[in-house]
Structure 1
Amino acid sequence: MPVLLRSKDAPGRKRRAHAKSRRGCGNCKLRRVKCDELKPSCMNCMSFGVSCNYAQNSSSLELAGESVFQLQTHSPQSLSLNETMRNMINKSLMQVSPAGGVDVYQLTEDDLQVLERCQARTISSLAEEKTVHIYRAEGLKLTCCHPFLMHATLAIAMMHERVMAGKTFKEQSTAEIYHSYQATATFRSKLSGPLTPSERDALWIATVLLSTMSLASIDATAPEEAWPLMSSFPTDLDWLEMIQGKNVVWKIADLARPDSAVGRMVIGFKDSRLQAVAKDASGLQALPQELLELLGLDTCVVTKNNPYYRAALCLGNLFGEECNIATLALFYVWIMSMEAEFKQLLRRKDPRALLLLAYWFRKVRSRHVWFLWQRSVLECQAICTYLEQNHSDMPHLENLLLGLRY
């Protein structure tokens, strides 16, 4: 018969005697759960994806270096796990503000569910099949350590859900607006300071997310509300600047370094096809003769001083390509190799530059690329209407606009 002992702190309560072990790991002690004392890692730590530590002075939970976060929110048993994960992530997201003190964004249960849906759906819509697993594994670890990337991840996941639900830019939730703003502000602050290897990797992923968000952020819901028909604003072509900014961050991040955890994600940028899009002179031959004539590129001797030369060359090299997630990097070359003079022509609504942009929009308007669809459809149609209203005397205009409208 078991011996019943009376507890000192609960006089009326009885409990069974048992042998206590103090050899459990530090994480189980911290969480006050029974440890099975398996080494090198107990089952509790393996299940939770944290590093198992039997050191006497262990005082905090740390993410396991090889683990992949899997945020499960569908069963009652997962609630305590999510609370533990939130505490772990929130601790790693604490940062010292420039004015002193600590800035903390406390993740909520809803945030964890957004991150889970991001892993399941949004990431696969942004990365091609051969790299999506790297985004999900390494990208999530970085997200849980860097506030600017956490905000960007939450923002783009919310944006993806909104767009796929058929809601407009004007129907952004307060949470999406907040995370978009915080992502942009904290990202910019990181660009000017010294960076750790982990921050360099996170900076590149944040650049990809922010440039994608800029493409999807269009206020118009009809062509007549879209640029260039609407009144001009300094921010009209910010999406171009964001994509071109990847050139700068590419140099800062230096993903070719040996200690980069995400360098394998961008192997496509070294693809010889990308170089061909920007430099293969045969691209001009793929363009309509009427367009070449309009741009002054129909002569035997083509001068590279022509402000339309590079944009036309890249566009011609893309004519035989279909735009999807696997080929998206090729279509970004058109923007990332865009020269300053050509961008100025776009800002001034030069009709020839606008026509080249409309042709690019026609190539990238694919429902498989959710963040390009609305802008490419609305602004392409807006360009056609603008040219008809303001440059109807332009040679071959009617023929060149055929096929650009839906």
Structure 2
Amino acid sequence: MGRRTPSSKPRCRQEESNSRQRKTHRKSRLGCRNCKLRRIKCDETTPSCEKCLDFGVTCNYDSSVPDLQPRSGSTEGIEIDSTLEKHSPATGSYVLDMVNIYLSENQGPTAANEGLLRLDLSGMERLERFNKRTVLTMGTKATPKCFRTAMVQLACIHPCVMHLVQSMTAAHDRFCAVSATSRQTTDEIYHLHRGISGMHQKLSRGIRPEDRDALFIAASILGVMMFFQIEASSVENVWPLGAGDFAWVGMSDGKKAVWRATNPLRQDSMWRAVAESYEMHFRFTEKEPTNMISVFDHLCTNSSSPPAVANPYHKTAQFLITLLALELNDTTWMRFLVFICHVDPPFRALIERKDPWALLMLVYWFMKICRGPWWVSTRAILQGQAICIYLERYHADDVLLQKAIPRPKLEFEEAEREGWGGYAFVGRSSPITV
């Protein structure tokens, strides 16, 4: 009873052996670099694998083909809004003159190390859109002239800046197409990857004087893009309800390190005027007193111990309270932006643990900036809504906390109805504000 036949045991061993052999046989290191970068299994079809064809990039078994380079003639799958201004590359404008110089002259050893960049027709049009539209969304009304002149010049000398300008403008295009929460386009991914690679090369060899201005603005653009990027099909997919990361918070530490290394306040810096404005607002808000009664007052209590040790809320809560009485406008925008610099490691640890009061503080900051530039409004509204839902769902027993939620929740709903945010899965019918 239950007795095995003589052949059953060898068959099991044979099947187990075959299984092991199949697993060993399927391990392959012959896939293209694009698939390795995207962390997907390459089908190893030559001369171009199916995964690269589907994704719209040039397959790169060949080491001479750049990573994630958009395939010639490929489309992005997003129709830009008809109101998006398009410009001919034959306008004779300052921007295109600079691009022609960039394309025709010897770029020297710096550009050769970073990889030569050749803009096609769509890239030149995208640069024109950056100069006439996207650059206006950086900084305040006083900075576009400086940004326009300096960034185009730097992009024509430093390929990493040109790549990041291209990626940022492609992201802005996606926002204007009411697709802010959709997947990044191949152009965004390609130029972002090349831009970051170029930055790493500059940093790894030691910062040279001629690279300082380029690295400062490259870090600034990268911070903008990390804050904007939030992929979701509904609010339930957004952290803390869904998965997510804090790359945008970590970028503030990186930008501070780049600030110290490049010193944009130095006498010969192209960014001296912009940096002085930033420093002025940072110092002012850091010392500004307030008599406003806030729901966060109890988080500012101190003891005899150092506040960073005894109270991880202390530094960030005190700074946030100074912002709550301010309205977001051109003169106060930089004050709201430097809030990220006051998110110190103890407070960041609270956010990562989904501490309810730390999350509420983040919600109130989102509430104040949700009608800000395009790269701010998407995350502020969508992640702000997700946090409100999370707090209502999982911390309903905290009466004081629950009383504080309706105010930001209402602000997010009103901002969304007004057309802020740039995403369409809620069924918005009003125009997008850029």
TM > 0.5:
yes
For 2:283, the equivalent position in structure 1 comes to: 275
1:245 and 2:251 aligned: no
Give 2:348's match in structure 1, choosing from 334, 338, 343. Answer: 343
Letter in 2 for 1:391: H
1:313 and 2:318 aligned: yes
User: Matched residue of 2:107: which SS?
Assistant: helix
For 1:17, the equivalent position in structure 2 comes to: none
1:361 and 2:369 aligned: no
1:185 and 2:197 aligned: yes
Offset, 1:398: 2.2
Q: Which runs of 5+ in 2 are unaligned?
A: 1-86, 414-434
Question: Residue 166 of structure 2 contacts residue 188 of structure 2 at CA under 8 Å; is this kept in 1?
Answer: yes
Give 2:151's match in structure 1, choosing from 139, 145, 151. Answer: 139
Offset, 1:143: 0.8
Offset, 1:220: 2.1
Once the two structures are superposed, residues 271-301 of structure 1 have per-residue CA deviations (whole angstroms, 9 ceiling, x without a partner) of 1x42232244x34x4242x4323x3x36899
For 1:24, the equivalent position in structure 2 comes to: none
Question: Residue 90 of structure 1 contacts residue 107 of structure 1 at CA under 8 Å; is this kept in 2?
Answer: no
User: Matched residue of 1:378: which SS?
Assistant: helix
Once the two structures are superposed, residues 353-395 of structure 1 have per-residue CA deviations (whole angstroms, 9 ceiling, x without a partner) of 11111111111101x4111111111111111111122111123
Offset, 1:318: 0.7
For 2:241, the equivalent position in structure 1 comes to: 229
User: Matched residue of 2:296: which SS?
Assistant: helix
1:327 and 2:332 aligned: yes
Number of positions where the alignment pairs a residue of Structure 1 with one of Structure 2: 321
Q: Which runs of 5+ in 1 are unaligned?
A: 1-70
Question: Residue 140 of structure 2 contacts residue 333 of structure 2 at CA under 8 Å; is this kept in 1?
Answer: no
For 2:398, the equivalent position in structure 1 comes to: 394
RMSD, matched Cα: 2.8
Mapped to 1, the partners of 2:297 and 2:93 lie a distance apart of 65
For 1:107, the equivalent position in structure 2 comes to: 119
Question: Alpha carbons of 1:118 and 1:395: their partners in 2 closer, same or farther (altered >3 Å)?
Answer: same
Question: Alpha carbons of 1:72 and 1:241: their partners in 2 closer, same or farther (altered >3 Å)?
Answer: same
1:194 and 2:206 aligned: yes
Letter in 1 for 2:282: L
Once the two structures are superposed, residues 75-132 of structure 1 have per-residue CA deviations (whole angstroms, 9 ceiling, x without a partner) of 6999x969844523673696344xxxx8322221221111111111111111322221
Mapped to 1, the partners of 2:397 and 2:105 lie a distance apart of 61
For 1:385, the equivalent position in structure 2 comes to: 389
TM-score (normalised: structure 1):
0.72
Letter in 2 for 1:108: D
For 1:205, the equivalent position in structure 2 comes to: 217
Question: Alpha carbons of 1:298 and 1:76: their partners in 2 closer, same or farther (altered >3 Å)?
Answer: closer
Offset, 1:263: 1.6
Offset, 1:216: 0.7
Offset, 1:202: 0.7
Larger Rg: 1
For 1:39, the equivalent position in structure 2 comes to: none
Offset, 1:335: 1.1
Q: Superposed, which structure 2 residues align to 1:8-27 within 5 Å?
A: none
1:291 and 2:273 aligned: no
Question: Residue 98 of structure 2 contacts residue 152 of structure 2 at CA under 8 Å; is this kept in 1?
Answer: no
Question: Alpha carbons of 1:347 and 1:105: their partners in 2 closer, same or farther (altered >3 Å)?
Answer: same
Mapped to 2, the partners of 1:165 and 1:309 lie a distance apart of 41
Mapped to 2, the partners of 1:256 and 1:151 lie a distance apart of 25
Mapped to 2, the partners of 1:338 and 1:83 lie a distance apart of 39
Question: Alpha carbons of 1:135 and 1:111: their partners in 2 closer, same or farther (altered >3 Å)?
Answer: same
Q: Which moved more, 1:373-382 or 1:123-132?
A: 123-132
Question: Residue 356 of structure 2 contacts residue 391 of structure 2 at CA under 8 Å; is this kept in 1?
Answer: yes
User: Matched residue of 1:135: which SS?
Assistant: helix
For 2:163, the equivalent position in structure 1 comes to: 151
Once the two structures are superposed, residues 134-188 of structure 1 have per-residue CA deviations (whole angstroms, 9 ceiling, x without a partner) of 1111221111100111111111111112112211343432111111121122223
Mapped to 1, the partners of 2:215 and 2:91 lie a distance apart of 34
Mapped to 1, the partners of 2:200 and 2:236 lie a distance apart of 33
Offset, 1:323: 2.5
Mapped to 2, the partners of 1:301 and 1:402 lie a distance apart of 35
Offset, 1:239: 0.5
Letter in 2 for 1:334: F
